[in-house]
Amino acid sequence: MPAGGRGGRFPAPGGFSRPGPVRAGAVAVGALLAVLLGLTGLAGASAAPPVPVAGADWSSEILYFILLDRFADGDPSNNAEVDRADPYGFHGGDLRGVRDHLDELQQLGATALWISPVFRNRPGRFYEHQPYHGYWPWNFLEVDPRFGTLEELQALSRDLHRRGMKLVLDFVVNHAGYNAPLADHFPAWFHATGNIGNWEDPTERETHRIYGLPDFASERPVVQVLFQAVARHWIDQVHPDGFRLDAVKHVPLSFWREFNGRLAARRGGPGFLLLGEMLDGDPRVIARYLQEGRFSSLFDFPLYYTLKDVIAGGADARKLGSRFFEDCRYPDPNRLGTFLDNHDLDRFLTSCGGDRGRLRQALALLFTVRGMPTLTYGTEAGLAGAAEPRPDNRGDMRFGADPALASWVQALAWLRRRHPSLRQGRQVHLAMSPTTYAFARILPDEVAIVAANTGTATAWLELPAGRLFADRTRLPDRLGTGVAEVWGPRFECEVRPGQVAVFLDAGLSAARAAAWRQALALHADPRSAGKVPVTFLLRAENLPGGAVPLVIGGIAELGSWDAGAALPEMTRAGPGRWRATVEVPRHAVFEAKFCCRTASQTLWFPGDNLFVETGDRPPAPLSAVW
């Protein structure tokens, strides 16, 4: 979604044509589609067969997002009302411009391109805003001439496939553009409701308009069939390798279940990417939509928020441990699309206050953690900018503006491509502290140890990883910032401040790998590991009368942060002292906090969260003073 579609600054759409009432005796679904397809010239269209792309495992891909209008102007003849000084206007980028820079993108390490919507958009401004972003479609079956032609899009697809690269098209199903003729011709296809007033209300999110944009009635079969036909058109004409699916939370799960299920089964094939933008920071929500919506992938917004907090914001590095512990909620966390920013968010460099060192560290984690890394155009050029109050995060691409940063991205991409453990290995928690986090990526014949230091002093870590390596082994950091030594069961490594170190062994013996996987199996699936008691101690002298302290946290035994759930109550252990012992999973990593309930509200402990890391034995009691 573009800014203005979520948290934007659009005025009330004064001249917008609202959908009329549903007309009785409307033309049958098939006839409606025949009219639509006939008007757009779809009937009888054909195209050359696709060039096959080997492999269907998207965790091995490096996805690069391009906002077409802001990337490169390859054909000035299609420029219309271009004003590069206007942050809300067209800047001239087009499909030809993307083709002109494929060599650079491939050298950078990108293996797949996701391009912003190519649909024909409204022809002019809506107030001061031009539809340069492509998310205000008027005609879902034509290429907007300001971006190029269908033939140029087909040529881009062929160029990518010849290089062994992939193409992902952005696909909008939630809404049409302002004043779209489609809403006037077929009002029954749209909700006759107002704008979203309460963004936390799931019904409003799915049935009301995003700032006046005509909202498709996605629950209606005619709309579902419509978008199946639109998807068929683009697959048959362009042969993309996947769709990025916009605004997932604004469309019912029933629509996604039908759309994705049919598309994967009949048109796209099992390797066709269906990557959804489900903007939610709760892993439980992401996991539910991933499974029930039949997506092949969703963007990992929970991890995005954690990386922003820890790397850009200087928060406790143990937040990474508690975030990755929740990977057990996903059927396969490698399916998630990881990212640092996008066209709706502040650039990560801006989140870091312009600190390129922190951006480099975040990029190193992006390329070594599980999932499919996604880069926003210009990250390698040092583009900065905030999303609000105007979209400075969507600045024009500056090729070659930061060679050092581009070389860093290129080195990370090469390291990931060279070592399958960094693409497909099982991720296992190793250790954490307020300024460090370490994990392993394990395959039967290769292991990677990754350690991050967010502090200001060099960190020496002793990790439970010695059994993976031959005794008395000295390993260089593949990113050039530290060294590791193995002595018997001990794995000791140096990580310099603000750096990420990566230690690799591609000669892992079958016997050592099997023993290691067995020893760490419970870490990877803590739900089957049994439980250990964890004791929480609180000193609270001035609680409200009758209030009993409770323990809440990020696991089911502590309510999964739901203050309305049944939470463990603490018992009095003396004047102003409280105690609770809770059975929690072994090898768990989570955050917890104290709270108490009164008749009218829940009061939260004002201090920082507690970080809990369990093993085979109970950890030391965790305490705080309220």
Q: Output the pLDDT for position 337.
A: 97
How far out from the chain centre does Cα 221 lie? 29
Per the listing, tokens 């020496």 go with 460
Tens of pLDDT, residue by residue over 448-503, are 999 999 999 999 999 887 666 666 678 889 998 778 888 767 789 999 999 999 99
Q: Output the pLDDT for position 541.
A: 82
Q: Output the pLDDT for position 38.
A: 47
CA distances from 461 to 100, 314, 318, 442, 453 (A): 46, 20, 15, 19, 10
How far apart (Å, rounded) are the C-alpha atoms in residues 545 and 180?
60
Within 8 A by CB and 6+ apart from 266, the residues are none
- In this predicted structure, the answer to whether residue 151 has a pLDDT above a threshold of 70 is yes
How far apart (Å, rounded) are the C-alpha atoms in residues 542 and 257?
52
Tens of pLDDT, residue by residue over 316-337, are 999 999 999 999 999 899 999 9
Q: What mean pLDDT comes out for the span 88-109?
A: 98
Q: What mean pLDDT comes out for the span 153-162?
A: 98
How far apart (Å, rounded) are the C-alpha atoms in residues 401 and 386?
19
Q: Output the pLDDT for position 586.
A: 87
Q: Output the pLDDT for position 516.
A: 59
- Chain length of the chain: 626
Q: Which of 128, 139, 210 is nearest to 181 (CA)?
A: 139
Tens of pLDDT, residue by residue over 182-199, are 999 999 999 999 999 999
From 156-165, 355-364, 576-585, the region with the lowest mean pLDDT:
576-585
Work out the pLDDT band at 4, boundaries 50, 70, 90.
very low
Percentage above 70 pLDDT, the chain: 85
Buried b (16+ CB within 10 A) or exposed e, 217-244: bbebebbbbbbbebbbbbbebbbbbbbb
Q: Do domains 424-524 and 529-625 have the same CATH topology?
A: yes
pTM of the shown model: 0.90
Boundaries of every domain in the chain: 29-51+59-418, 424-524, 529-625
Q: 19 vs 505, which has greater pLDDT? A: 505
Q: Is the dihedral of CA 325, 330, 333, 339 positive or negative?
A: negative
Q: Output the pLDDT for position 264.
A: 78
Work out the pLDDT band at 263, boundaries 50, 70, 90.
confident
- Region 29-51+59-418: CATH code: 3.20.20.80
SS3 623: strand
- Region 529-625: CATH code: 2.60.40.10
Q: Output the pLDDT for position 373.
A: 98
Query: What is the tally of helices (H) and strands (E) in the chain?
Result: 16, 26
- In this predicted structure, the answer to whether residue 599 has a pLDDT above a threshold of 90 is no
Work out the pLDDT band at 265, boundaries 50, 70, 90.
confident
Per the listing, tokens 């002595």 go with 487
Within 8 A by CB and 6+ apart from 24, the residues are none
Domain 424-524 has CATH 3.40.50.620: no
Identity of residue 273: L
